[in-house]
Amino acid sequence: MEYWRQCALWLINCKVLAANHRVTWESAQVFDLAQTLRDGVLLCHLLNNLRPQSINLKEINLRPQMSQFLCLKNIRTFLAVCSDIFGMKKSELFEAFDLFDVRDFGKVMDTLSKLSQTAITQQTGIRPFPSEESVQDEDIYNHLEDLIDENGVEDEEDLYDCVYEDEDGGEIYEDLMKTEAIAPPKQVETDIRSCCLTEIKQTEEKYTETLESIEKHFMTPLTMFLSMVEMEKVFVNIPDLVKVHKGLLVEIQDSVHHRSAQNLHQIFITFKERLLIYGKYCSHVETAIICLDDICKEREDVRMKLEECSKRANYGKFTLRDLLVVPMQRVLKYHLLLQELMKHTHDSSDKTNLRTALDAMKDLAQYVNEVKRDNETLREIDQYQKSIENLNQTLSNYGRPKGDGEVRVASVDKRAKQDRHIFLFDAAVIVCKRRGDNYEMKEVIDLHLFKITNNPTSDKENRKWSYGFYLTHNQGQSGFEFFFKTKELKKKWLEQFGMAISNIRPENATNNLHEFNMHTFERITSCNSCHMLLRGIFNQGYLCSKCGLGAHKECLGRFGSCGKTVAAQQNKRTPVKHERPPPPLMRECCLVPTSMCKCLRAPANPSFTMPVLKLLSDPGSVRTQKKTQQLFSLNVHVFLSQCVTFFVYFFRAKIEIQADLFAFADCIFLAGLPKMLVIRNYFGVPSPTSGPHSASRRSQPDVRNAIISVVSGQNPGDERGWLLSKRRCEALPMFAGPMERLQAGTELLHRVNSTYLVRHRSREFTEYAISINDGPAPQGPGASHRSMAVIRDGN
């Protein structure tokens, strides 16, 4: 048997390669084995299989995506452990570039053969290789380097199909979630939907029980053995998860037992925001397990206590290490459970409701995955940072890494090619010179200032390091030309550079006078267009520097005119005179329909800027009251349904409306308005649509108090407020009770345009909000709705 095939068979016996891996196919070549091993991931797993925990998983990069820097780091970690733990001599080890560049793959297999014969490996009982005389095949290794350059990696995902898919605890989760097989009554034997509901309820019961067990049987006893810092590292936010799931379980049980699951979709929509705490847990669980392993290695008392805790919790079946991975499995299962339930739901209304809940849980799962991925990315960036000398910049400020590798660089004016190693990020190229295992920074190229220009003539030379393209300066200053070893590598880098520039200068960034830039949102934020979460922990999306709207890249082209720009243009056309207030000129807010605008004597305009308002107290003016009532002599129901936001955000221009402040509690029925003056337009962050009563962030106390009085229904002094009391509000037909935004959208979905409701915010029972159906959704079938105001009880 060929030497490389014996090596592949040994790797399968070591449970590193799957038995049906492509290297076992009849058509397989040695190139397939070389390509599978060259990122170092499987080699590191190999050592952990031969001797558990011989490599700290934190020190390797499980998905290096063929980054030269990360692959070489994995290979060097493998070589160091072979020497330090397995006792191999330096002469028996290959060089890192022997594998990555496949310069000497025969030497790589020789090292693996020596590894198979070490004492530690022999203890596993796995037969070393070669176990028989090998066919002489040295010649087949000679051209592997050229094959790697020419072919690259066609399907990088396939490289990892042999790494443990269940490594994050899938089997443990399935075992814990097993439920007793209870024969259902005859009348529901074929009711698959009931089975789906039962599975949702029972698995939530089992999971909540597991969380409580972690807290009771492990966390509480270990407080006597571990410091507060160690407790936080190991258990992350388990107590918070327990609280959330206790509440979720009660709601699910009540829905299934007493409501025929009619409100099940509302429960998942409501709990979506509370479940966002999984972002923190899932991004820290790997570090938690590593910390736990380190503590157990160093302290026998903790190790013995953990064994005792495990016996009390589950008769020793699962260790704390096993249980810590279960939450990550659970949060990624909700959308699958709802998807199965929706598949067996035939009522159209129920199906629509479940689809909304399913979208919410998919959004949650994608958010959690992206947070976890971003934490891994930040660890990679930190490794780059530590390996580049003479670097004063923080690399994470340049966005996500797009790749790194060897190139030849020439400035356009000097034309001399220099061997360099580049690290490409969204916003910059770090040009370095390799010095051993580290790098020296030579130049940082700001991609905001450059564009890509292909050089097709270089492809015709058909020789190594002749394939290139230009980075051309936008202002005509000196640019750069990058040369690559092969045509395929040039194509790969051209795509990555294009993607990076597309991220910092997206196609629709300046549509409708907006100015969207890549942005890191400090708080969890939703896109102002699709209302789905902006995912990750840095550079999650784009922020308009003018109006403060946040968006996904793919949503940038869906916004109307930028509110700040339109307001600025109007201010230029109509200079403000400060001697006395301008005459009453009505301006609509963002959701006032055309029919209402006619009543307000203003043209319809989709743009909107929320102003800062000031109440002008001039109570008791009979003339003023009559004038206002004549202006707004509208049927109360039409007025409420078409102009609720009028009471919340009011007007974009600088205006004055005469009304009796004290009579405003009755204005809903008399159609009067309070006396107000817009003193300053609001262009801050968050934008009007992304947060309640944003204008109250202004620094002047009188203005802030005035805004709070508008939103909360309480005047700055002891005067009577103008909003309806809580008791009167909840007695009205438009009051929908506790409800979150997505649920409100579902309720309004099939209603006529301008239908509205008042709701209690489920997350904060001291707050009310108003939701309006404002017509067909711009992105497709269905309806869109807006939630405008937050009204606080008694403060």
At 180-209, the pLDDT tens digits run 544 455 444 348 899 999 999 999 999 999
Does residue 379 lie within any of the structural domains?
Answer: no
User: Which residue has 């067996």 as its token pair?
Assistant: 344
Per-residue pLDDT band for 653 (boundaries 50, 70, 90) equals very low
423 and 478 assigned to the same domain:
yes
- Rounded mean pLDDT, 767-787: 63
Highest mean pLDDT (candidates 231-245, 629-643, 695-709): 231-245
758 and 707 assigned to the same domain:
no
- Structure-token pair, residue 25: 């196919």
**How far is Cα 584 from Cα 789, in angstroms, rounded to an integer?**
25
Whole-number pLDDT of residue 695: 37
Whole-number pLDDT of residue 146: 65
681-734 confidence digits (pLDDT tens): 444 444 444 444 333 333 333 333 333 333 334 344 443 444 444 445 556 677
Q: Which one has a higher pLDDT value, 131 or 134?
A: 131
- Rounded mean pLDDT, 746-756: 76
123 and 37 assigned to the same domain:
yes
Answer whether residue 660 shows pLDDT above 60. no
Does residue 531 lie within any of the structural domains?
Answer: yes
The CATH number that applies at residue 356 is 1.20.900.10
222 and 277 assigned to the same domain:
yes
Does residue 749 lie within any of the structural domains?
Answer: yes
792 and 658 assigned to the same domain:
no
The CATH number that applies at residue 548 is 3.30.60.20
- Rounded mean pLDDT, 757-767: 68
Does residue 380 lie within any of the structural domains?
Answer: no
Range from 69-78, 640-649, 650-659, 726-735 carrying the lowest mean pLDDT: 650-659
Q: At what angle do helices 334-343 and 264-271 cross, to 10 degrees?
A: 160
Task: Output the pTM of the full model.
Answer: 0.66
Q: Which one has a higher pLDDT value, 497 or 714?
A: 497
Highest mean pLDDT (candidates 248-262, 572-586, 711-725): 248-262
Does residue 186 lie within any of the structural domains?
Answer: no
Query: From edge to edge, which strands make up the β-sheet containing 767-776?
Result: 735-738, 756-760, 767-776, 783-792
498 and 531 assigned to the same domain:
no
Q: Which one has a higher pLDDT value, 500 or 462?
A: 500
- Rounded mean pLDDT, 630-653: 37
**How far is Cα 491 from Cα 468, in angstroms, rounded to an integer?**
9
Per-residue pLDDT band for 785 (boundaries 50, 70, 90) equals low
Does residue 185 lie within any of the structural domains?
Answer: no
589 and 703 assigned to the same domain:
yes
526 and 602 assigned to the same domain:
no
736-745 confidence digits (pLDDT tens): 777 777 778 7
State the DSSP code for 216.
I
| Number of separate domains in the chain | 6
418 and 556 assigned to the same domain:
no
220 and 301 assigned to the same domain:
yes
Per-residue pLDDT band for 658 (boundaries 50, 70, 90) equals very low
The CATH number that applies at residue 413 is 2.30.29.30
Whole-number pLDDT of residue 264: 96
Does residue 445 lie within any of the structural domains?
Answer: yes
Does residue 8 lie within any of the structural domains?
Answer: yes
The CATH number that applies at residue 61 is 1.10.418.10
How many CA atoms, within 13 angstroms, populate the side-chain half-sphere of residue 570?
15
Whole-number pLDDT of residue 688: 46
Whole-number pLDDT of residue 42: 94
201 and 285 assigned to the same domain:
yes
Structural domain containing residue 740? 724-795
Per-residue pLDDT band for 292 (boundaries 50, 70, 90) equals very high
SS (H, E, C) 319-370: CHHHHCCHHHHHHCCHHHHHHHHHHCCCCHHHHHHHHHHHHHHHHHHHHHHH
Q: At CB < 8 A and 24+ separation, what contacts does 342-350 make? A: 344/192, 344/193, 344/196, 345/193, 350/262, 350/265
